[in-house]
C-alpha cells in the first residue's frame, strides 16, 4: 500500500515564508482562532466520511486548506474551503498549487454562516461547541439528504451523531452525521440512515 501524500512540511514552509499584503484583514473578527488539524487526524476524518473521488468536500473555517487539499490528493475529490481570513485564503491557494491540486480545490474568502454550501456531499468542521451549535440550522436547511458531516472534537448542539469514534492519533472524538430527509428530521432513524448510506457507498 502506498504511503499517504505528505502535505504538512510544504504547508509550514509556505505559511512561514508567505509575504502577502500586511494590511489584509478579515471582513469581521473570526469566530475562532486558527488551530490546524494534525495531518493524521485529517486522514481519519476523511475515512470516517467515506470520501471518494465523486465527492465535493467543503471545509468550513478552512485555515491553511489542508483538509480539502488532502481530500484531493488522496481521493481525487473536489473541495471548497471557506475561510474569512484573507491571509489564510492566500496561503491555502499557494498550498494547493504546491500540492498540484489547484485544479480540484477552491478557496473562498467568506463567512461560513453565509456561504452557499448546498453543493457539498461532505462537510468538515474543526470549530467550537458554540459555533457548531449556531451552524446546526444552516447545515440542516442547506445540505442535501445523505450529505456527511464530520466534526473534529466538537458536537453539533443537541444533534445526535450517527457515529462517534476516537481518533487513534490524538485521542480526540470525531463525530459523523448523515443529513436526514426533511420528513425524518424529528425522528430517530439513525440506524436506517446508516444502512441506507452503506448501501449507497457499496454502489460508488
Find the CATH number of the domain harbouring 179.
3.40.50.150
Cell numbers 487526524: residue: 41
**Could you tell me if residue 15 is inside a domain?**
no
Distance CA 3, CA 41 (A): 15
Q: How many domains does the chain have?
A: 1
Distance CA 43, CA 71 (A): 8
**Could you tell me if residue 16 is inside a domain?**
no
Residues in contact with 182: Cβ distance below 8 Å, sequence separation at least 6, in sequence order = 145
List Cα–Cα distances, 101 to 19, 41, 95, 122, 135, in angstroms: 22, 20, 9, 18, 28
What are the residues facing 109 on neighbouring strands? Answer: 83
**Grid cell in block for residue 82:** 471557506
Domain that holds residue 74: 26-202
**Could you tell me if residue 55 is inside a domain?**
yes
**Could you tell me if residue 10 is inside a domain?**
no
Checking if the pLDDT of 163 tops 60, the result is: yes
**Could you tell me if residue 31 is inside a domain?**
yes
User: Between 151 and 202, where is the model more confident?
Assistant: 151
**Could you tell me if residue 4 is inside a domain?**
no
Distance CA 44, CA 166 (A): 10
17-51 pLDDT, tens digit per residue, is 444 544 566 555 556 667 889 999 999 999 999 99
Checking if the pLDDT of 70 tops 50, the result is: yes
**Could you tell me if residue 167 is inside a domain?**
yes
Amino acid at each position: 500500500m502506498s504511503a499517504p501524500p505528505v502535505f504538512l512540511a510544504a504547508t509550514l514552509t509556505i505559511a512561514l515564508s508567505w509575504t502577502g499584503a500586511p494590511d489584509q484583514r478579515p471582513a469581521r473578527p473570526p469566530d475562532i482562532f486558527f488551530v490546524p488539524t494534525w495531518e493524521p487526524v485529517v486522514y481519519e476524518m476523511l475515512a470516517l466520511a467515506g470520501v471518494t473521488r465523486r465527492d465535493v468536500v467543503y471545509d468550513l473555517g478552512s485555515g491553511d486548506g489542508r483538509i480539502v487539499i488532502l481530500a484531493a490528493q488522496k481521493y481525487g475529490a473536489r473541495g471548497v474551503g471557506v475561510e474569512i481570513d484573507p491571509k489564510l485564503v492566500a496561503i491555502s491557494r499557494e498550498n494547493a498549487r504546491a500540492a498540484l491540486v489547484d485544479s480540484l480545490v477552491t478557496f473562498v474568502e467568506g463567512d461560513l454562516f453565509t456561504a452557499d454550501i448546498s453543493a457539498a456531499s461532505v462537510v468538515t468542521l474543526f470549530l467550537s461547541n458554540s459555533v457548531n451549535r449556531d451552524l446546526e440550522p444552516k447545515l440542516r436547511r442547506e445540505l442535501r439528504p445523505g450529505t456527511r458531516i464530520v466534526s473534529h472534537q466538537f458536537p453539533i448542539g443537541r444533534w445526535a451523531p450517527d457515529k462517534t469514534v476516537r481518533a487513534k492519533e490524538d485521542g480526540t472524538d470525531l463525530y459523523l452525521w448523515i443529513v436526514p430527509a426533511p420528513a425524518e428530521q424529528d425522528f430517530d432513524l439513525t440506524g436506517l440512515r446508516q444502512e441506507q448510506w452503506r448501501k449507497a457507498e457499496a454502489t460508488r
